[in-house]
Structure formats: C-alpha cells, structure tokens
Amino acid sequence: MPFSKQSSPGYVTNHLARLFAQRLAGAIAPLGLSPGVFPALLELWEQDGQTQAELARALDIEQPTMAATLDRMERDALIRRVPDPEDGRRRRVLLTQKARALRDPATQAAGRENARATKGFSDAEAEQLLALMHRAIANLQTDGDDAIDSA
C-alpha cells in the first residue's frame, strides 16, 4: 500500500502538534511566554529544582536544546540556576516568582486550546484520544529495535 500522509499517524500527529503550538503561541504570548519554554515550565511547576539533565530526560529533548531553552528562560527572568548543595558540579533550576505567578494564567490558556481541539468530543472520546496518544508515545520511547512489518 502506498504511503498516504492522511493515514500516517506521524504526519497527522505532527500536523496536530504544529496547530497546537500555533494556537498556544497566540494564547501565551500576552504573558511573555513562548511554546518553546512552556514544556519546561510545566515540568518545573510540577517539580521545581530539577537539574538540566532531569529536565531533558523528562521532556525527551537533547541536552544542548535544553541548555538553550534554559538560557532563554534565565534571560527572561523565569528561572535561576543554583549549585546543587549535594554535588557542586550540578546546578538546580529554580523558578522565579515571576514564573510561579504565570502558572495559572498559562495553564488556563493551554486548557482553553485543549478544549477547542476536543470540542464536540464526549468525555470518553477525549479520554480515549489521550490514552491512544500515551500508548503511541510509550511505543516510540522504547529502546528495543522491534521488527515492524511494513508490508
């Protein structure tokens, strides 16, 4: 069967992600935030004080990308990096008061975009969509080189 972008989970997911990013960008721009820093903020709002390496692992991004994101966040006074009291070679990433104050308005803006995307879905359909996306993520996060039959 020939490849079809409309029946490709990767293509459709990427398209959806780009639309989400565009909508989120518009929703959080008035707060002085960008979609690039939003995942790191979400992680730090859940657990402040993580290391750069912990954040990179949690977000499935490369260390250099995480470092550049943290540099922007520090420049924008959203975080500060302090030495780890247990290991001076590591630095902990701490939210500033400014970033903590943005949590509710930013997550509410994201929630509105999520609601827009699932408009007309039943609760069960919205839950199923999330469950299927989480399963796909788990499949792609496995280190195994499972043979996939493409025929």
Decide: 78 and 98 in contact? Cβ < 8 Å: yes
Q: Does residue 131 belong to any structural domain of this protein? A: no
In contact, 70 and 93? CB cutoff 8 Å: yes
Would you say residue 96 has pLDDT above 60? Answer: yes
Q: What is the pLDDT of residues 97-150, one digit of tens each?
A: 999 999 999 999 999 999 999 999 999 999 999 999 999 999 998 866 655 555
Q: Is 141 helix (H, G, I), strand (E, B) or coil?
A: helix
Q: What is the pTM of this model?
A: 0.86
Residue positions counted in the chain: 151
Q: What is residue 140's predicted lDDT score, i.e. its pLDDT?
A: 92
* pLDDT band with cut points at 50, 70 and 90 for residue 1: confident
Q: Treating both helix axes as pointing N-terminal to C-terminal, what angle do 52-59 and 38-46 enclose, rounded to 10 degrees?
A: 110
Q: Kindly report, residue by residue over 37-71, the tens digit of the pLDDT.
A: 999 999 999 999 999 999 999 999 999 999 999 99
Answer yes or no: is 84 within a domain: yes
What range does the domain containing 63 cover? 36-108
* Residue 141 belongs to a domain: no
58, part of any domain: yes
SS3 71: helix
H or E segment to which residue 26 belongs: helix 9-28
Whether residue 62 lies inside any domain: the answer is yes
Does any domain span residue 97?
yes
- Does residue 124 lie within any of the structural domains? no
